[in-house]
Amino acid sequence: MGIRTLLIAYALLGVSVAQRVVTVQSGPLVRTEGSHVTIWCNVTGYKDGVEQDFEWSMYLTSVPDREIRIVSTAQSNYAYAVYAQRVNSKEIWVERLTRDSALLHITNVQARDQGLFECYTPNTDGQYLGSYSARTNLTGESMLHHKAVF
């Protein structure tokens, strides 16, 4: 069967292949220590009707290949010890906006929060097509009468 025949068959059957795309707020996000930051995450191109889960992790610039898990919409014990207390006390949490978008909240930014933040959405489609995570950079800036993040 030739390519042309396959394409016609797919068109007649209404078969379409969507690719998952995860996007986050572009950075760098500049915040001062003690401030509140929100980072949005959105996913498109997944199987309709399935609520998506969101897992947030971060990577320190000094150790860019080491994941530090922060918070998840699916797993209550997702956070690594360094973030667990802040998640349990609701200083850090995820606010679901829709079935395919969410906000990460950090109500009291600390110096150790500086780094790359990653939003990951677990596969719900049975096959892997597209991107499942996206990253943005959170950094600090010295401001008059404020402590800097770094």
Q: How many CB atoms lie within 10 A of CB 143?
A: 13
- What's the rounded Cα separation, in Å, for the pair 35 and 106? 8
Confidence band for 41, pLDDT divided at 50, 70 and 90: very high
102 domain-assigned: yes
CATH label of the domain that carries residue 30: 2.60.40.10
Q: Residues 69-104, buried b or exposed e (16+ Cβ, 10 A)? A: bbbbbeeeebbeeebbebbeeebbbbeeeeebbbbb
pTM of the model: 0.80
Instruction: Single out the residue of 87, 85, 105 nearest to residue 95, CA to CA.
Output: 105
Q: Could you give the CA distance from residue 22 to residue 136 in angstroms, rounded to a whole number?
A: 12
Structure tokens at 133: 């995570």
Mean pLDDT across 37-66: 92
- Asked if residue 12 belongs to a domain, the reply is no
Give residue 55's pLDDT: 97
pLDDT of 10 reads: 39
Total number of domains in the chain: 1
Residue 146 lies in a domain: no
Q: Report yes or no on 5 lying in a domain.
A: no
Q: Which residue has the tokens 């349990």?
A: 88
**Picking from 66-80, 82-96, 115-129, which range would have the lowest pLDDT averaged per residue?**
115-129
What domain range is 126 assigned to? Answer: 18-140
